[in-house]
Amino acid sequence: MKHLLSLPLVIALLANTPALADEALVAKNKCTTCHAMDKKMMGPTWKDIAARHKGQASAQASLVQAIVSGSKGKYGKIPMPPQPKAKVDAEAIAKWIAGL
Q: Which residues, other chains included, contact 45 with Cβ-Cβ below 8 Å and sequence gap of 6+?
A: 35, 36, 37, 38, 39
Query: Which position has the higher pLDDT, 60 or 5?
Result: 60
Q: Is the overall model pTM greater than 0.85, yes or no? A: no
Q: What is the pLDDT of residue 29?
A: 95
Q: What is the pLDDT of residue 91?
A: 95
Q: What is the pLDDT of residue 14?
A: 47
* Alpha carbon distance 7, 65 (integer Å): 40
* Beta bridge pairs of residue 71: 80
Mean pLDDT of all residues belonging to the chain: 86
Q: What is the pLDDT of residue 19?
A: 64
